[in-house]
């Protein structure tokens, strides 16, 4: 995610920032009005990849820490696994949680992909 943000910051033109400084904009105004809108597409891509990673990250947690110490490294997929197959064996609740997680991930991924794909369409590139 940091590399995505760095790529976005490096792609911003220095001439635009210099012009804003010449016009009298302070650092906060430049960040809020120029840098943050420029980083929007990179942030959206980071949200998409991050949401997919959170749902996908199970194996390393299971192998390395088993969710511990206590519950410090437990994420949602590992918590659902623990609920279903260890301790209480509440398979019904775990499967309901899994369905909600999958639906939420599909919604987030669909919205993020629509936004990212609109950025690369002819209409999205016309304003740049």
Q: Is the pTM here over 0.75, yes or no? A: no
The end-to-end CA distance of the chain, in Å, is 24
Q: Domain ranges in the chain?
A: 1-38, 50-128
> How far is the C-alpha of 41 from the C-alpha of 26, rounded, in Å?
24
pLDDT in tens, the chain (128 residues): 899 889 999 998 899 889 999 999 999 999 988 998 888 888 888 887 887 787 788 888 889 988 888 888 888 888 999 899 987 889 999 999 999 988 988 888 888 778 777 766 644 444 45
Core vs surface per residue 28-63: b (16+ CB within 10 A) or e = eebeeebbeebbebbebbbbbeebeeebeeeeebee
């Amino acid at each position: 995610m940091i590399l995505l943000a760095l790529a976005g910051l490096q792609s911003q033109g220095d001439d635009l920032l210099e012009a804003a400084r010449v016009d009298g904009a302070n650092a906060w105004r430049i960040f809020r009005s120029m840098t943050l809108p420029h980083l929007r597409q990179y942030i959206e891509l980071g949200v998409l990849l991050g949401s997919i990673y959170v749902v996908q990250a199970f194996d390393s947690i299971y192998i390395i820490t088993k969710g511990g110490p206590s519950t410090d490294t437990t994420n949602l997929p590992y918590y659902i696994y623990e609920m279903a197959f260890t301790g209480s064996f509440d398979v019904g609740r775990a499967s309901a949680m899994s369905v909600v997680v999958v639906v939420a991930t599909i919604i987030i991924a669909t919205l993020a992909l629509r936004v990212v794909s609109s950025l690369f369409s002819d209409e999205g590139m016309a304003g740049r």
